[in-house]
Amino acid sequence: STRSTGSGSTPSTGSTGSTIEPGPGIDALRRWVADVASLTQPDDIVWVDGSEEENRSLLTGMVRSGSIVALDDSLRPGSFLARSDPADVARVEDRTFICSATEADAGPTNNWRDPAEMREELTARFGGSMRGRTMYVVPFSMGPVGGAISQVGVQVTDSPYVVVSTRIMTRMGAEALAEIGPDTEWVPALHTVGMPLVADDGSAVGDVPWPSNEVKIIAHFPETREIWSYGSGYGGNALLAKKCFALRIASVMARQDGWLAEHMLLIRLTTPAGKVLHIAAAFPSACGKTNFAMMTPSLPGWKVETIGDDIAWLRPGADGRLWAINPEAGFFGVAPGTGPDTNPAAMATVRSNTIFTNVAMTLDGDVWWEGATEEPPKHLIDWRGRPWTPDSPEPAAHPNARFTVAAAQCPTISGDWDSHDGVPIDAIVFGGRRATNVPLVAEAEDWEHGVFFGSTISSEQTAAAEGPVGELRLDPFAMLPFCGYNMADHWQHWLEIGDQLGSKAPKVFRVNWFRKSSDGGYLWPGFGENIRVLEWIADRLEDDAEVEWSPVGGLPRVGGLDVAGLGLDGFALDELFEVDAVAWSAEAEQLRAHFDRFGDRVPQRLRDRLDQLTRRLDAA
Ligand code: GTP
Ligand code: SPV
Ligand code: MN
């Protein structure tokens, strides 16, 4: 049976749900679940336990109802394909809200709504929203259960897809529930796809494979640490443990309690000499975190092990260094572009027990996406379920098609990926997708300069969110869509963490794999060749490489970066590192406008760094 903790499958008749009050502890949890049920009116309540048996029965039920397809068991064992509604394929940033008490606390880069007004609107929308459906109560731990920096949350959802996905992405079920004692703080997260199966007049509504609503609202209440998500079943909109909790709400917790919640991958790097280094890197969505985290180094003797591919929680440790954990337990990775040459580790990870969303299907029941093989199969079913051939005008997989798979299945996973204390960080890397201006790698002078790097990341927009792909935007700390409070306060918080770390602070770097030549091709081969940049970073950490200081940071000296065998001509190398003072002066003016958006919340130390950049460019 999937009914486990016996906390009543009949909704409580207690309060009306208009005043859902989160609070610490298990009694508060029971009350909250009862209140949500009386508001949303599901047919059934199921407390999930996370067991294998429960998972199998959920998947079987979804196959039977047609909401997912079982892939061929010999080609892709234990794996499934979900096709979303074509209008529900990515995060919806313009429908994502930070409902802090004051608008200034959300800051100019977040959509803000008055918390009382939003609560009222959501309460109305959630009213009866689960009629005819099952409401799942999903306890989860972010970070290893009982770990020093771990946190628990409970998501209520009417989507079984969300349940099976959360089981992969977090430590979900009985163990997490057992963490919630009378005094435990847990984050309540409400989710509905917003498509009840019973209309207001009582008539039945037919279900669809991917229920969702035209209206989508992803709301966060930082002061009460609550999440309400309405109308979407997709990824970051619906798997609330991920972006909503582990970044937006956690960033608020982290600021209050002296740690950091960041959109960062984590790796363990072993040099040929046997030196072990841990590196955290922040790149915006669909800008290479998963690929970097699973890198197969092209240089002999180097080893990269995966700790996390999307989110890191970092905290100063007792030894004064910065320690980090991956709060997740799985990967929700971009499928297109993932192939045996670019990311063999990811290809091996998704061989089995994987939920694919919006990829194409082969006629024999396997999956395919652009880049999975060099040549596409002659016939496919595209991500919308339509026949597809190589002559079809549209891609077979949606550009934001994803795989959901357990981290433990990754061949490059590090032995200490789920250690309770995490790993000590040696270097922090910021990156973005920039066709121009930004050099392949640059080093910050110190932590403060590194915070300046982070605060000024810009990147060309990708398909990970709704919006114009390719448009350049400032994405500070790769957190533009994920910071739960005023972004300028985030920069101040980073400066304060640096003050605390002092000489034990990690070194900071900026990278750009995506610079293009005038003919439009990438100048840098990327992927496994990115080890060459890591080699230079490792050498810098050991004081083994020289640096040439430019207005935009420290660059490798000529010959300092090992490019042997890449076939890059001197011209391409020059282009990769060119710092064009005129173009950068224009960029600096954009950065000034970027800072001005935040008014006097911008730390003076960062403004000074910008002035310094301008002075250096003028002198160059
Ligand atoms: P999210 O899961 O959205 O946060 O994305 P991510 O940052 O993990 O990006 P991911 O590694 O999935 O890569 C996104 C896209 O960038 C894929 O199509 C990759 O093939 C491509 N990509 C990743 N690394 C490189 C690289 O070094 N060079 C080039 N040219 N493309 C890359
Ligand atoms: C991202 O967009 O950064 C993702 C995918 O990792 S989602 O979970 O949808 O946010
Ligand atoms: Mn991401």
What residues contact 307, with CB distance under 8 A and at least 6 apart?
265, 266, 267, 268, 278, 293, 324, 326, 413, 414, 416, 417, 423
Contact 451, 442 (CB under 8 A): no
**Does residue 285 have its Cβ closer than 6 Å to ligand 1?**
yes
Name the residue of 170, 242, 405 to mutate for ligand 2: max ligand atoms within 8 A of Cβ: 242
pLDDT attached to residue 88:
98
471 annotated as a binding-site residue: no
326 annotated as a binding-site residue: no
Quote the crossing angle between the two packed helices 26-40 and 115-126, to the nearest 10°: 60
Q: Which two tokens stand for residue 455?
A: 């605060």
Q: Which two tokens stand for residue 8?
A: 């009543």
d(CA 125, ligand 3 centre) in Å:
28
486 annotated as a binding-site residue: no
| Its pTM surpasses 0.90 | yes
243 annotated as a binding-site residue: yes
- Please name the residue that has the structure tokens 């891609």: 395
Ligand nearest to the CA of 239: 2
d(CA 536, ligand 3 centre) in Å:
26
**Does residue 11 have its Cβ closer than 6 Å to ligand 1?**
no
Closest CA to 604 of 458, 448, 484, 475: 448
516 annotated as a binding-site residue: no
pLDDT attached to residue 25:
81
pLDDT attached to residue 570:
84
User: In terms of C-beta density within 10 A (0-12 exposed, 13-18 middle, 19 or more buried), how is residue 87 classed?
Assistant: middle
Per-10-residue mean pLDDT, the chain, length 620? 36 39 78 97 97 98 98 98 98 98 98 98 98 98 94 98 98 96 94 97 96 98 98 98 98 98 98 98 97 98 98 98 98 97 97 98 98 98 98 98 98 95 97 97 98 97 91 96 98 98 98 94 97 98 94 95 93 94 96 97 98 96
**Does residue 532 have its Cβ closer than 6 Å to ligand 1?**
no
Tell me: the pLDDT tens digits for 546-561? 999 999 999 999 889 9
Q: Which residues are designated catalytic?
A: 287
Q: Report which protein residue has its CA nearest ligand 1's atom 15.
A: 286
User: In terms of C-beta density within 10 A (0-12 exposed, 13-18 middle, 19 or more buried), how is residue 426 classed?
Assistant: buried
**Does residue 290 have its Cβ closer than 6 Å to ligand 1?**
yes
User: In terms of C-beta density within 10 A (0-12 exposed, 13-18 middle, 19 or more buried), how is residue 114 classed?
Assistant: middle
Tell me: the pLDDT tens digits for 253-276? 999 999 999 999 999 999 999 999
Tell me: the pLDDT tens digits for 316-343? 999 999 999 999 999 999 999 999 999 9
Residues β-bridged to residue 136: 46, 157
Which of 346-361 are b and which e, b meaning 16 or more Cβ less than 10 Å from the residue's Cβ? Answer: bbebbeebbbbbbbbb
Q: CA 119 to CA 106: how far, in whole Å?
A: 16
Q: Which two tokens stand for residue 140?
A: 């989860």
Tell me: the pLDDT tens digits for 496-512? 999 999 999 999 999 99
The ligand 2 site (C-beta within 6 Å) comprises 91, 235-236, 242-243, 285, 310, 332, 464
Q: CA 338 to CA 330: how far, in whole Å?
A: 17
Tell me: the pLDDT tens digits for 30-52? 999 999 999 999 999 999 999 99
Q: Report which protein residue has its CA nearest ligand 1's atom 23.
A: 288
d(CA 287, ligand 1 centre) in Å:
4
Q: CA 33 to CA 316: how far, in whole Å?
A: 35
Q: Report which protein residue has its CA nearest ligand 1's atom 28.
A: 526
Query: What DSSP assignment string belongs to 505-563?
Result: SPEEEEE-TT-B-TTSSBSS--GGGGHHHHHHHHHHHTT-S-EEEETTEEEEPTTTS--
Query: What DSSP assignment string belongs to 421-458?
Result: T-EE--EEEEE---SSSS-SEEE-SSHHHHHHHHHT-E
Q: Report which protein residue has its CA nearest ligand 1's atom 4.
A: 285
pLDDT attached to residue 584:
96
Residues β-bridged to residue 289: none
d(CA 605, ligand 2 centre) in Å:
31
Using the atom order of ligand 2, give the atom closest to the CA of residue 237.
Answer: 9
Query: What DSSP assignment string belongs to 25-50?
Result: SHHHHHHHHHHHHHHH--SEEEE---
pLDDT attached to residue 295:
97
Name the residue of 287, 291, 310 to mutate for ligand 2: max ligand atoms within 8 A of Cβ: 310
**Does residue 464 have its Cβ closer than 6 Å to ligand 1?**
yes
pLDDT attached to residue 168:
98
Q: Which residues surround ligand 3, an ion (CB under 5 A)?
A: 285, 310
310 annotated as a binding-site residue: yes
Neighbours of 339 (CB within 10 A): 18
